[in-house]
Amino acid sequence: MQILAGPIVQILMTAIGFSGGLALAAAGITLIYMTTGTFNFAHASMTAWGFYIVFSLYKVLLGGNPYLYFPVAFIFSGLLGVITYLVVNRWLLKRGADMVTLMMSTLGVDLAFFAFINIFADYLTATYKVNTRLIVLTTEDIILGKIGTFPFKAITIISVVIVVGMALFFYLLLNRTKFGIAFRITVENPALASILGINTETIYLFAWFMGGAMAGLGGAILSLVISGTPTVGNTVIVPEFAASIVGGLYSIYGGLVGGFLIGLSQKLIINWLGSVLGGNIVVYEPIIPLLIMAATLLLYPEGLAGIDWRRIFSRSKSSRR
Amino acid sequence: MMEGILEYLYNPLVLSILVNMAVFLIVTLSLNIETGFAGIPQFGRVLAVIAGAIGAGAIAGRMMAAMMGLPAGIEYVGDQNFVIVGELNKALESNPLLSIGALILSLAVAAVMGGIMGYLASYPAIRLKEAYLGITLLAFGDALQIVGMYYDPLAGGTAGIVVPDVFRFVGTGEIRFLSSTLIILGIAILVYLYVQSLARSPFGRALKAMRDNELAAKVYGKDIVNLRAKTLIIGGALAGMGGALWTLYTGSFKALTYNRLTWTFWPWAFMMLGGTGNNLGIVLGTLVFSTVRSLIYAYKTELTAFIPINPNWLEYLLIGVIIIAIALFRPQGILPEKPELPLSRKKIESIRASLAKGD
């Protein structure tokens, strides 16, 4: 409802912040999927932990500035990923478990992490007498300036900077370092990679750390954009999945682009529909990413990254000629 | 003796275990057909379940109201819901035959609704693979829940609706819950027998062939598209009945309670624990899990004294750990899948013996 009242500039800024968080988390899902073939349900709780880390450290335990705790969220959720890999995923991969078992095992991990978030939230409530069941940090963001009469919040810029920085980091890592080459070989052909002396376990460990960490960072960004409860992971996991799938599941950049596609369209389309059809339509917001995902998959069964862009480009060039 | 058993059954904890087990058995068996036999990653089980629940609660209820000349339009799910359903209940209470008819009508509508959802799901299911398909099905289920939650004219939206009590003919109070539980258990047993016969039929073997090697199944002339669509329709219809029975038992429908976790992921956990592809294993897995869940639920207050955390989270933690443990240590489940014999073992042996004699 609040979104409706706001003018387009403000909606766009919220949408950008939201998309940034989504994009990071989606790229994390993609990263884990392309290396280990595991579609990670535990991303829901990893995102939610990022959200709660920022909330608890900033609002309850330490104070200061919410952005100070972004690295903490990054590392904490990254460690959750490492735990998931070392305790569960590693053994399943060694056994050559099928996709469904890999997926379901991460669901078990997600339920356990979800329980821990709630236990942590209960602890905070009992010890510090704060409401941990409805968290609103959106009003606590740093205001950089004003566009017209509307506050220009720092998260809009910072989320874009983080996403671009992450894309740049992966570009340099994958194309300019030995580790990146090893990573790409492992994705292409794990058996061949291990014959060449590449320790695929290091690659998998890296993927799980970065995947979890990006979910945590995404959650940290989202904490300044949307209000949340301990079930926030459950709410955002669907657009995250959608973004990752739309991105094609085999390209980190695809995940990032998918996040912006899903996030921007979710917020902007619902706003547009709200202004055309009336405010009642706003509750259907969560359906929009699902529709976009379904439409993309039915047109391109392997997502955006599955499209041969070069061929489309050359075809359009040749037709012009 | 009989009275002793009855007294035991009146125990609300036993009833809760039984009814949970029966309803989830139906849903999990339907999942087993699709995932265990046919290998479709059905992460959208809730889709057909919720469609069945809406079918029984909102659509069959409206049909009954229309037949009795009561308002069946938007009033049925609105403020008048209580009054109309009250009238219907009076009629059902006085006429057992009508009540049984209403039960059958509700189940039939639910099965049709679930079947339609299965048919819709077959559209992506024949085009997409593995993770893409699983997540698309998951998205379908979530989308229907959101529509059910916010589109009031369908089934009352967030407030939900009360549902005609088709079990009313045996009375009210304890005896109603006992007999409805037994009826649901009976239906669950019928569903089990049906799914078991399906597994032993040529259709069941074709599904397993398709799961194990799609190309080989194609070579032997199996129509993959047709098989998948049929599987999803049968599975959807059964799951719809499961959802309908839960709605009829509780006497109300609220879209909020038909969430992804309870109606997709729990059945998955039951199936994995019992043994994917083994119907008897499904029974075992469902029994174990529903007993554990009901026990935690029943002894919540007592548990709070012993452990420092809220027992709600204990349930999540426990089921999470069980899922991980199954995946790690016994991926085939407690009772692993084994080949289903088309005839009884004795018959096969005797045929083999007579063939040997003939030579």
Q: Are B146 and A286 a contacting pair at CB < 8 A?
A: yes
Q: Is the pLDDT of residue A321 over 60?
A: no
Q: How far is CA A292 from the centre of its chain?
A: 17
Name the residue among A101, A283, A291 with its Cβ closest to that of B331: A101
Interface test with A, best of B46, B135, B289 (most A CBs within 10 A): B135
Name the residue among A100, A116, A294 with its Cβ closest to that of B136: A294
- Please tell me if residue B150 touches chain A, with a CB cutoff of 8 Å: yes
Among A74-83, B193-202, B302-311, which is the least confidently predicted range?
B302-311
Among A146-160, B18-32, B173-187, which is the least confidently predicted range?
A146-160
Does A182 or B359 have the greater pLDDT score? A182
Question: Rounded CA gap, B46 and B32, in Å?
Answer: 14
Q: What are phi and psi of B227, to 5 degrees?
A: -60, -45
Tell me what the mean pLDDT of segment A179-188 comes to.
Answer: 91
ipTM of the complex as predicted: 0.85
Q: Which residue of B has its CA nearest to A247?
A: B132
Tell me what the mean pLDDT of segment B290-298 comes to.
Answer: 84
Predicted confidence at residue A319, as pLDDT, reads 52
> How close is the nearest chain A Cα to the Cα of B42, in Å?
10
> How close is the nearest chain A Cα to the Cα of B16, in Å?
23
Whole-Å CA distances, B60 to A267, B113, B156:
37, 11, 15
Question: Rounded CA gap, A266 and A282, in Å?
Answer: 10
Mean pLDDT of chain A: 86
Does A321 or B221 have the greater pLDDT score? B221
- Please tell me if residue B346 touches chain A, with a CB cutoff of 8 Å: no
Tell me what the mean pLDDT of segment A3-8 comes to.
Answer: 56
Q: Which residue of A has its CA nearest to B121?
A: A294
Residue A262 Ramachandran class (φ > 0 left, ψ -120 to 50 alpha, else beta): alpha
Question: Rounded CA gap, B20 and B27, in Å?
Answer: 11
Q: Which residue of B has its CA nearest to A112?
A: B317
Q: Is the pLDDT of residue A4 over 50?
A: no
Residues of chain A above pLDDT 90, percent: 43
Q: Is the pLDDT of residue B186 over 50?
A: yes
Q: Which residue of A has its CA nearest to B148?
A: A284
- Note whether B340 and B209 are within 8 A (CB): no
B75 band by pLDDT with thresholds 50, 70 and 90: confident
Query: What DSSP letter does each residue of B90-103 carry, written as one string?
Result: HHHHH-HHHHHHHH
Q: How far is CA B140 from the centre of its chain?
A: 17
Residue A69 tokens read as 């705790």
Render pLDDT for B55-65 as a digit per residue (tens, 0 to 9).
988 888 888 88
Tell me what the mean pLDDT of segment A243-258 comes to.
Answer: 88
Coil, helix or strand at residue A220? helix
> How close is the nearest chain A Cα to the Cα of B107, in Å?
29
- Note whether B17 and B296 are within 8 A (CB): no
Render pLDDT for A275-296 as a digit per residue (tens, 0 to 9).
888 777 888 888 888 888 888 8
Q: Are A249 and B129 a contacting pair at CB < 8 A?
A: no
Q: Is the pLDDT of residue B2 over 60?
A: no
Does B68 or B189 have the greater pLDDT score? B189
Question: Rounded CA gap, B114 and B43, in Å?
Answer: 15
Q: Which residues of A touch B322 (CB under 8 A)?
A: 108
Interface test with A, best of B132, B256, B262, B309 (most A CBs within 10 A): B132
